[in-house]
Structure 1
Amino acid sequence: MTNKIEISSIIKKRTLGLAFVLGAASLAFAQQKVNVSGKIVDQQKNAVPYASVTFSNKANKLFSDATLTDDKGNYQLALTPGNYDITIDAIDFKKSNLNKQISAGGNLGNFTVTSESSATNGRTKDIEGVVITANAVKPYRVELDKKVYDPSTDLLSKGGNLQDVLANVPSVSVETDGTVSMRGNSNVKFLINGKPSSMLGIDSGANGLQSIPADQIERIEVITNPSSKFEASGTAGILNIILKKSKGMGFNGSVTGSLGYLPSTNLNTNLSWKKGSWTWFLNGGGGYREGEGKSDSDTRFFNTATGATTRYFEQNSKNKSESNFYNATAGFAVDLTEKTSINLSGMVRNFSSESKNKVDNINYDASRILNNYSQTAALGTSTNLSLQGDVGLDHKFNDAGHNIALSLSLQKSNNESTEDSREFDQSYFQYGTLGNNNTVNKSIIGKVDYELPIGEKSKIEAGYRIDNNTNDYDFLNKETGFNLNYGIVDEYSGNTVYDETINAGYAQFKSKFDKLGYQVGLRAENAQINIEYQSLSGNTSNKKKDYTGFFPSVFLSYDLGSSNNQLLLNYSRRINRPRSWFLIPYPTSLANRQNLFRGNEDLDPSYIDSFELGYAIQKKKFTINPTLYYRKTTDDVKFVLLSQAIGSDVLITSPYNVGNETSYGLDLNLTADLFPWYKIMASADLFGYKSEGSYFDPNRMVEPLSFDGEGFSTRLRLTNSFKIDKTLSMQVQGFYRGGQKTASSESKDMYVLNFGANKTIWNNNGTIAFNIQDILGTRGRNTTSFGPGYERDSYMRWSPRSFNVSLTYRFKQGEKIDTPKRKKDINSNSQGGDDQGPPM
């Protein structure tokens, strides 16, 4: 009878649908319970609020439960009589374990926990058992082969999306067009829970980043120099996005709604239920967003022999868009035995948008006198549906860290888009284009990872992975004149099937000798690529690529007194495989006839050798992590901007292998609790480059286009966090991007100021947040591009100033339950965040 009353209460207080499932399941485990209570205090007998207390039943895990203390340190819950291991965890206190036999209800008395800053290491009188240090939540921490960012302390991205979160991550920059870069390099590899994901769509991109709510992100792993365990692609590094899953006993969840301007709405939820050996979770969200951007360019054409101006061409573009999106991920994990568990999950993502783009095309003569004026009006639609299923099996041979993990991921993404572009001259219709594009991506990812400890300080890791990706591109472009009869443009239409299979294997060994830790590894990858192209008129081409690469990595660490004060030295070899649409041998769109993109099916991968020397000191009040880095790239890929023909206004951008490039810099990250009410997180990236190479096309230029050059630039970010009182916090962030000059372009300085505020309400069960992005309206990119016979000044602004307010309500917050503890390795750090095993 007691259980029925409890279930009824849950249905009233929780989401009806999920509570029904939870209630039905809990009846299966029904047994008479007793009410117990107690209090958590420190060594001075002061109450410890919001500490988590976990009761693990030693005879039957199904009877385990957990709770949080209130603001006075008190707790209460109902338990089945039996013998329990009790774990107490609180921020700034040592995690403590004890055992207690519970036979009847009542008050268990005070349990005392020890402060981390305590000079003694002894156990308190009330607590017996093993004591393990548990660090307080920090926004940023350094590990042997990665840096970890926790967005829970970030007020600026509350109610936002993954792109907003990335804009605040150390070592990461988000450009005005949504491009993500690390240390000035945009060749970033994105992973979701340790593997490529359909959540980001085909070839990732801004739309994919904007469709993942910030509230679904648990942490971001920044891997600037990945080890051999990770896939070798992505010369800038890897961003591993770890999404939230259940970490608490019983029912947990939160719902967040937000409103913003430009008009945007979001509603997201994270729900989970953990009972005994079963864990269920459901994350989902959806919303509506409007966008607005502008892009202006002014191109001067000149005689390459005399330098005299021949004419000018100006374009002014304004874009407005509307988009709807949703995503949902659901799954479960179950412990089949004490040593074997299985997990299964599924994901669906949908994104649709409509855009309106107007472009003014203005031609002037050499004296800047108007020759003619035209306007291009383009309407575009885009829809994307992505599906993904994952299954994993984890087995522990023993508790010393001897493990094996297997996983399989099936993914499919379907993207359809249309473009209707029309050009008018003095308000008279001249010509138009219709584009219909359909792209289907299918991926299969299978892998196995194995770990074998050797003694107390050493470990061997090995694994195998296979990736198969098939992209089917269908492009149909039509063009019309005065009679409005659209005819197919064969040169810009056709089908391309891109099929890629990568087989990879790796092995690495890690150990520690006195204060010196080391990890050495080798990865081998074989890529087989087949590109089949066929135009509508029957013209065909077939391109095959087959290459094998070896990618070593070496990581060294030296403790300067402790593992929280280290020197770090590492090396890795990486590869930059061209994205599939870089290899499509024809323009994919005719919406803007003056600026086209054309792929290059002869494009080869680039290889990079990367070195890093860093220092990391991590204390309770501060973290300092300066890193010197050096990278050498061979067969570097550059985007070459060429006119379609001598004297033509049409400019075509294509990627080519043009030479080599070296880059170097200092990446400095700092967090500090300056006062109890004031914290800062600062990052600075000072980097330079030197490139050597050239490109020559005898059909469209007289002289080779040189990419020889060198330059230096900076990225600076400072986030100031203020705690006004126990419930109210604020953040002010400034970002500065220095100008940068390359062999073919020069960009000007840019600075941005953002603000955020956060207040907890409803007895800490709710949070209301407000933020302003780009307070001063200065987020825009000014660039000058150079080429044979032309010079172009351009300005681009991705979005104007925006506001956002969000409200979050948290359901029962159970105790944080860590995954079963493995025996600590030499660095006390885990590899990656893949729930089916370490990324490879």
Structure 2
Amino acid sequence: MKKLFILLIPFISFSQDYSKYMNRASQEKNGKIYGKVKDEKSQNMQYANISLIKNDSIIEGLITDEKGRFIFEKIEIGDYKLLISFVGFENIELNNISLTDSNPIFNAKTITLNPSSNMLEETNLVDEKPIYENKFEKIVYNVENDLSQNSLDGVDVLTQTPLLDVDIEGNVSLRGSQNIKFLINGKESSFLKGGNVSDVLKMIPSEQIKSVEVITSPTARYAGEGNAGIVNIITKQDKLEGFTAGVNTSTGTRVNRTGANFSYGNKKIGISGRVGGRYGWPRKGNSTYSRDVINESGIFERNLEYSGSTIGNWVGHNSSLDAYYEINPQLNILSSFWYGGYRKTNEGNYDYKSFTSGLDEYNIFQESLNTDTELEWTTDIIKKFLNNDERELRFAFQLGGNFDNDESSSFQGFSSQGEDSLANENLSDGNGKEYTFQLDYIHPISKNQKIEIGGKFIDRITEVDYSNDRKEYELNGTNISNYQEEIFNYNQSVWASYLSTSIEFPSDISLITGLRYEGTKTNGNFEVLDSLINENIYHTFLPSFVLSKKLNFSKTLKFSYSKRLMRPDLNYVNPNLVFSDFKNVRVGNPSLSPEITHQLEIGLSSFKPGFMTSYFIYYKRTSDIIEEFLTFQNDEEISTISYENIGTNNSFGLNFFGSIRIPNIMNIRGGGDVYTYNVSSYDNIQNENSKDIRLIYKWYLNSTVELGKNYSLECRGFYRSPRQTIQGKIPSFSMVSFGIKKEFNNKRGSIGLGLIEPWSKYKSFETDLSSDNFTQSSNNQILFRSIQINFKYKFGKLKFNPIKEKSTINNNDLKQNDSGGEY
């Protein structure tokens, strides 16, 4: 009961309409005041602050929508003033606004704001945008506007992003699925995919991230991969005039990070660069494991268990370079380069006990080394047209490469019953290349309709050279060696085209609908065995639509449908046999089929000054769902983890998030996710768990308190229940942290102190799996408590640059003009 109450806290809090306590007006509220805000260049100004004043007191406030509009409805008859403000612009006050019974409506018409000459000289200019935005087809977390966040890297940022869930290993899931398509600045990334996503995210410093877009209902323009949805990470690529640079560092008892950046731009060219490193102190842990084997009659046959200690380390580096050149106002070139890598080491020492007809004891020592290097070069050529600035033709090219090396070894000593000593060494060297060509065209048909059309081709070429050397040492001194090696080549080609249209109807109704086609070809071969993997070609049509209705100025209702697919990459199909120890192995499955997902979603968003909420109800059906699947061979006493298409999952879910803000005092943000796991397994996947419907949930709550004199206090926490699989559950995860930060008076930097998990030095992660002939459980304890000191500072001077307005970088590449609410 206590856990249920804790689960409901965020839901109860954000279900209340606190705005009714802010205004105790009478029941006669027939007045209306409305208008529009533009800048000195007649551009609509979104997020301008509009304050309604009566008797020299602010009684209500709004921010303008994407078209610069605002409206106060159901206000009392009387005399008012309007105060219009925006960071970097002169305030405007409209006086003598009188609403009467005979004339209860006032039209402020178009209000023009002019830049403030004083503010233009400030070192740092940031648009006053909300932290969260609920746009037409996506949720946006504006990282750069979250002044309270103390995130250090990409993984930390995603833990603060609505709808996303990050586990202890840094694996990211959306609505219970890790099959997410990650984009960088609206484009596919050759390195942000597969099994190394969490490692790459750790190499992206939070200072480099401008915002994160979570797209649960992607439209036809987006790539069809990622049946859970799309996460688009927008990096800072502002085209400002001047020079600026900065440094940041974080030193702690668990992880150390440091980085530096610079930016320079003028009216025609710009360049920016970043470099950073991450070093983790050796991290200790403890592990226990137990497996019981059961025969067909349900009778216990044997047991294997161990306990031991581990120590691991992680070192990473990254660098990036971005540049732009404006050939003329209608033609621009953008180019970027990324280089990064990491090195992981792990050691473990375990005491094993095996019981069949008697007890046998032995020791196993394990160590592993994993290194990875990623590089990527992307160039865009963007053509605008004089007759219509919204008309755009864009060609993009991307070249990506990766080089990885994995080494693991195990040594098992002689057992208490005289069994042979064993040694195993596994080596794997892989490299991959990825070429991408993309063409997109946007053509406005009218003021209220536009068409988007485009195509893409991707060619992925991968080679893995691996070997496995297994040795047996007998008591009499005889040595037996079994050495195997192979070179595995795997190729995947994808070609796609799409057609999409967006339409604005009367009565504030908007629609985006489209169709995407994607063709896929996969093939591979084993060079040593001289055998081929059968070529597989399949075609997929992916329809989608998003229908939106603005109920009033602050509420929007949305209904959407999308069809998605998830292709298995090398992480799933790699046939290299990796021994965790001599009783547990892992291997890929080259015969996997892609997952196909259909999703229906209804969302309601509401925003008022100081109080914002969003709710989503959805149904998701995924066929050929891919999961890890453990099998056990009684005769060999070896368990094998592979991947299988296990069946079809029918899931219902609810997401909600919101914020409560008291200006200059406190900001509380939170939300939660609840969804079902209900798999109908295929005939070849027999498991008792496939008959159950499981409920999985997560909640998070963050608060920031302004202490005055540029001091602030931050508290944040989250809890995720165990995730379900066909064979059992994956560990739950929770974390609590506190931080205090001091902004320097010149607003150029800050220094802060953070504390993570003050009440528990170690965190335990329990996994339970079962099938018809075994039950298995494990518990891994990892050193988690840490203290860190954060420092950031920037120098230089930036000014507004007209080229920023001419830039054709448009990562919000679908229609944004029917915002459902800002956070």
Give TM-score, length-normalised by structure 2. 0.80
* 1:421 counterpart SS class: strand
Q: Determine the structure 1 residue equivalent to 2:660.
A: 672
C-alpha distance in 1 between matches for 2:678 and 2:194 = 32
Per the alignment, do residues 671 and 779 of structure 1 end up closer, same or farther by CA in structure 2, a change over 3 Å counting? Answer: farther
C-alpha distance in 1 between matches for 2:441 and 2:576 = 44
Q: Determine the structure 2 residue equivalent to 1:518.
A: 511
Residues 55-97 of structure 1 show CA distances to partners (whole Å, capped at 9, x for unaligned) of 99xxxxxxxxxxxxxxxxxxxxxxxxxxxxxxxxxxx964599
Bigger drift between 134-143 and 616-625 goes to 134-143
Per the alignment, do residues 249 and 127 of structure 1 end up closer, same or farther by CA in structure 2, a change over 3 Å counting? Answer: closer
Q: Determine the structure 1 residue equivalent to 2:270.
A: 279
Question: Quick one: which amino acid aligns to residue 614 of structure 2?
Answer: N
Identical aligned pairs, as a percentage?
Answer: 22
Match status 1:413 vs 2:397: no
Per the alignment, do residues 116 and 529 of structure 1 end up closer, same or farther by CA in structure 2, a change over 3 Å counting? Answer: farther
Q: Determine the structure 2 residue equivalent to 1:574.
A: 564
Question: Quick one: which amino acid aligns to residue 651 of structure 2?
Answer: S
Q: Determine the structure 2 residue equivalent to 1:102.
A: none
Match status 1:509 vs 2:493: no
Residues 242-281 of structure 1 show CA distances to partners (whole Å, capped at 9, x for unaligned) of 122234220122210111112x322212211111111111
Q: Determine the structure 2 residue equivalent to 1:266.
A: 257
Query: 1:268-417 residue pairs with structure 2 within 5 A?
Result: 268-290=259-281, 291-305=283-297, 307-364=298-355, 371-398=359-386, 399-417=388-406
Question: Quick one: which amino acid aligns to residue 393 of structure 1?
Answer: I
Q: Determine the structure 1 residue equivalent to 2:461.
A: 470
Q: Determine the structure 1 residue equivalent to 2:23.
A: none
Per the alignment, do residues 125 and 141 of structure 1 end up closer, same or farther by CA in structure 2, a change over 3 Å counting? Answer: closer
Match status 1:800 vs 2:784: yes
Contact 2:463 2:489 in 1 (8 A): yes
Unaligned runs of 5+ in 2: 1-38, 42-82, 98-107, 117-125
Residues 149-198 of structure 1 show CA distances to partners (whole Å, capped at 9, x for unaligned) of 12235578636211121112110111123221111111112122222324
C-alpha distance in 1 between matches for 2:94 and 2:207 = 30
Query: 1:391-790 residue pairs with structure 2 within 5 A?
Result: 391-398=379-386, 399-425=388-414, 430-482=421-473, 487-490=481-484, 493-514=485-506, 515-534=508-527, 536=528, 538=529, 540-562=531-553, 564-587=554-577, 589-643=578-632, 645-674=633-662, 676-696=664-684, 707-739=690-722, 743-746=726-729, 750-761=733-744, 763-777=746-760, 779-790=763-774
The structure 2 residue matched to 1:820, chosen from 806, 817, 821, is 806
* 2:678 counterpart SS class: strand
Q: Determine the structure 2 residue equivalent to 1:100.
A: none
* 2:454 counterpart SS class: strand
* 1:528 counterpart SS class: strand
| TM-superposed deviation, 1:797 | 4.3
Question: Quick one: which amino acid aligns to residue 491 of structure 2?
Answer: D
C-alpha distance in 2 between matches for 1:231 and 1:437 = 31
Question: Quick one: which amino acid aligns to residue 180 of structure 1?
Answer: V
| TM-superposed deviation, 1:803 | 2.5
C-alpha distance in 2 between matches for 1:326 and 1:805 = 20
Residues 268-326 of structure 1 show CA distances to partners (whole Å, capped at 9, x for unaligned) of 12211111111111111113223444443222222331x33233211335332223321
Question: Quick one: which amino acid aligns to residue 140 of structure 1?
Answer: Y
| TM-superposed deviation, 1:354 | 2.6
Per the alignment, do residues 744 and 554 of structure 1 end up closer, same or farther by CA in structure 2, a change over 3 Å counting? Answer: same
Per the alignment, do residues 270 and 709 of structure 1 end up closer, same or farther by CA in structure 2, a change over 3 Å counting? Answer: same
Contact 2:288 2:780 in 1 (8 A): yes
Match status 1:149 vs 2:135: no
Question: Quick one: which amino acid aligns to residue 595 of structure 1?
Answer: N
The structure 2 residue matched to 1:167, chosen from 154, 159, 184, is 159
| TM-superposed deviation, 1:557 | 0.4
Residues 732-751 of structure 1 show CA distances to partners (whole Å, capped at 9, x for unaligned) of 11212234555421457554
C-alpha distance in 1 between matches for 2:231 and 2:593 = 24
* 1:164 counterpart SS class: helix
Contact 1:393 1:405 in 2 (8 A): yes
Contact 1:440 1:472 in 2 (8 A): yes
C-alpha distance in 2 between matches for 1:363 and 1:114 = 80
Residues 208-231 of structure 1 show CA distances to partners (whole Å, capped at 9, x for unaligned) of 121222222111111112111111
C-alpha RMSD over aligned residues: 3.1
Q: Determine the structure 2 residue equivalent to 1:42.
A: none
Contact 1:682 1:719 in 2 (8 A): yes
Residues 525-551 of structure 1 show CA distances to partners (whole Å, capped at 9, x for unaligned) of 0001112124x4x35232211001000
Question: Quick one: which amino acid aligns to residue 258 of structure 1?
Answer: S
Residues 698-720 of structure 1 show CA distances to partners (whole Å, capped at 9, x for unaligned) of xxxxx777733311121010111
* 2:759 counterpart SS class: coil
Contact 2:168 2:733 in 1 (8 A): no
Aligned residues: 708
Contact 2:565 2:594 in 1 (8 A): yes
Question: Quick one: which amino acid aligns to residue 525 of structure 2?
Answer: E
Match status 1:182 vs 2:174: yes
Q: Determine the structure 1 residue equivalent to 2:237.
A: 245
Bigger drift between 502-511 and 721-730 goes to 721-730
Unaligned runs of 5+ in 1: 1-53, 57-91, 98-110, 129-133, 698-702, 831-840
* 1:177 counterpart SS class: coil
| TM-superposed deviation, 1:580 | 1.8
Per the alignment, do residues 637 and 741 of structure 1 end up closer, same or farther by CA in structure 2, a change over 3 Å counting? Answer: closer
Contact 1:157 1:214 in 2 (8 A): no
Query: 1:61-76 residue pairs with structure 2 within 5 A?
Result: none
Contact 1:271 1:281 in 2 (8 A): yes
C-alpha distance in 2 between matches for 1:478 and 1:118 = 87
Per the alignment, do residues 299 and 819 of structure 1 end up closer, same or farther by CA in structure 2, a change over 3 Å counting? Answer: farther
* 1:590 counterpart SS class: strand
C-alpha distance in 1 between matches for 2:408 and 2:724 = 35
| TM-superposed deviation, 1:815 | 4.0
Q: Determine the structure 1 residue equivalent to 2:217.
A: 225
C-alpha distance in 2 between matches for 1:293 and 1:116 = 64
Q: Determine the structure 2 residue equivalent to 1:113.
A: 91
Per the alignment, do residues 808 and 827 of structure 1 end up closer, same or farther by CA in structure 2, a change over 3 Å counting? Answer: closer
Per the alignment, do residues 115 and 432 of structure 1 end up closer, same or farther by CA in structure 2, a change over 3 Å counting? Answer: farther
* 1:232 counterpart SS class: coil
Question: Quick one: which amino acid aligns to residue 725 of structure 1?
Answer: G
Residues 477-503 of structure 1 show CA distances to partners (whole Å, capped at 9, x for unaligned) of 11112269684433xx31211101100
* 2:157 counterpart SS class: helix
Contact 1:248 1:813 in 2 (8 A): no
Contact 2:87 2:128 in 1 (8 A): no
| TM-superposed deviation, 1:767 | 0.9
Match status 1:140 vs 2:132: yes
C-alpha distance in 2 between matches for 1:115 and 1:544 = 70
Q: Determine the structure 2 residue equivalent to 1:108.
A: none
Question: Quick one: which amino acid aligns to residue 468 of structure 2?
Answer: N
C-alpha distance in 2 between matches for 1:484 and 1:238 = 56
Q: Determine the structure 2 residue equivalent to 1:12.
A: none
Contact 1:518 1:557 in 2 (8 A): yes
* 1:204 counterpart SS class: helix
